[in-house]
C-alpha cells in the first residue's frame, strides 16, 4: 500500500477522521502494511498487546479457547479497528485473531495510537464510542443468554473505581 | 455534600484524577448531589441518557428486562462511574439502574463530562480503560456461556468501521 493511500484510508476510519493532516501522516508513516492468508494468526491470547490494527481489506475472526474448544467472539471487516483493548489497558491480548480469507491490515504501534487519539478530543470520543458500542453489544448478548439460561450464575462486574 | 468534599471525592476517581484543579471544580460545581433509598430507580432503559453518575456511597444494581424477567447485568459500588455509555454514544439508556440500600451519587451533566474527559489525554485514557475492562469482563462472560451452551447461536459484533 502506498503511503498516500494509507493516509486516505485512515481518514475514512471514524476514529481517525478528525485527526489533522500531520497526525494522519504520522500514523501512516509509523504503520506496517501487512498481508495475511486465510487462517493465519495475527494475535494470540496472552501475548503482549503493543499494536492496534485497521483492516484495509478482508475479515478477521476473534476467538477464545477454553479446554480445547474454540469459541468465536466476533468477526470484523473492512475499516474495522481491533487490538485496541490490550493497548489501552496495557495488558496481554485477551483473544486470538485469525485472518478469514486474504487480509490486508495496517499495524499501528500502540504508543503512537494512544498518543494521537488521547491528544485529540474527537478521536478520543471516537475510541470511546467504538468501545461503548461493543460493550452494548456484549451486554445484550449476556442478557439474551441469561434469559435463555436463568439457572446460570456468573461473576459480577469488577469495580471500576479502584 | 459540601463542594470541597465533592472536589476531594472526584480527585480519588481514577478517571478524573488527572484533571487540573479548575476542571475538578467545574465538575463539582456543575454536579447534583443526590440521595436515593433502597430500590429507587435512577435510570430507566430507553430514557434519554444525558448524565453520568459517580457513586459517593452505597451500591447500584444495573439490570435489563426481557418479557417481564429482570436480568441483573452488573452491580457497582463506591467511587464507580456509570451512565457514561449512553452519553458517549448519544443514545438512550441501555439498562435500568436501581439503588441497593441507601445511595449517594454525584450526577454530572453529560456535556460537561464529555468536554472535560476528551480534552484531557489522561482522563480520556481513563474512560477508555473503564470501558475496555468492562468489555473484557463481558467477553469472558460470553465465552463462559458459549462454552456452557455451545448449541446457542447469537448475532455477531456489528462493524465498528462504518
Domain ranges for chain B: 3-144
Q: In this complex, do A154 and B144 lie within 8 Å of one another by their Cβ atoms? A: yes
Q: Are B159 and A75 in contact (CB under 8 A)?
A: no
What distances in angstroms separate CA B2 from CA A142, B15, B23, B32, B118, one per listed residue? 39, 21, 17, 11, 27
- Predicted model pTM: 0.87
CATH of A3-144, picked from 3.40.50.970, 2.60.120.10, 3.30.230.70, 3.20.20.140, is 2.60.120.10
Confidence bin at A154 (pLDDT 50/70/90): low
Q: For residue A48, count other CB atoms closer than 10 A to its CB.
A: 13
- For residues B15-42, give the mean pLDDT: 92
How many beta-carbon pairs under 8 angstroms link A with B? 196
Residue to mutate among B130, B135, B155, B159, with most A CBs inside 10 A, is B135
Q: How far is CA A128 from the centre of its chain?
A: 12
Q: Which of A122, A136, A161 sits opposite B85 (nearest CB)?
A: A136
Residue B74 CA to residue B152 CA, distance in Å, equals: 22
B99: closest CA among B52, B50, B49, B43?
A: B43
- pLDDT at position A162 is 34
% of residues, chain A, pLDDT over 90 = 62
Q: For residue B94, count other CB atoms closer than 10 A to its CB.
A: 21
Confidence bin at B158 (pLDDT 50/70/90): low
Q: How far is CA B9 from the centre of its chain?
A: 16
- For residues B72-90, give the mean pLDDT: 92
- The β-bridge partners of B35 are B104
Phi, psi dihedrals of residue A18, rounded to the nearest 5°: -90, -5
- pLDDT at position B4 is 83
Task: Answer yes or no: is the ipTM higher than 0.85.
Answer: yes
Confidence bin at A110 (pLDDT 50/70/90): very high
Amino acid at each position: 500500500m502506498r503511503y498516500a493511500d494509507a493516509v486516505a484510508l485512515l481518514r475514512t476510519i471514524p476514529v481517525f477522521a478528525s485527526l489533522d493532516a500531520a497526525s494522519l501522516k504520522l500514523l501512516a508513516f509509523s504503520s506496517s502494511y501487512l498481508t495475511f492468508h486465510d487462517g493465519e494468526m495475527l494475535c494470540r491470547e496472552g501475548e503482549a498487546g503493543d499494536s492496534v490494527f485497521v483492516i484495509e481489506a478482508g475479515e478477521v475472526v476473534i476467538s477464545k479457547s477454553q479446554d480445547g474448544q474454540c469459541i468465536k467472539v466476533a468477526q470484523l471487516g473492512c475499516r474495522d479497528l481491533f487490538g485496541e483493548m490490550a493497548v489501552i489497558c496495557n495488558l496481554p491480548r485477551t483473544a486470538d485473531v485469525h485472518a478469514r480469507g486474504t487480509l490486508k491490515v495496517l499495524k499501528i504501534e500502540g504508543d503512537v495510537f494512544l498518543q494521537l487519539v488521547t491528544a485529540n478530543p474527537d478521536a478520543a470520543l471516537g475510541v470511546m464510542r467504538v468501545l461503548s458500542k461493543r460493550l452494548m453489544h456484549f451486554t445484550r448478548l449476556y442478557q439474551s443468554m441469561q434469559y435463555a439460561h436463568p439457572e446460570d450464575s456468573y461473576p459480577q462486574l469488577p469495580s471500576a473505581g479502584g
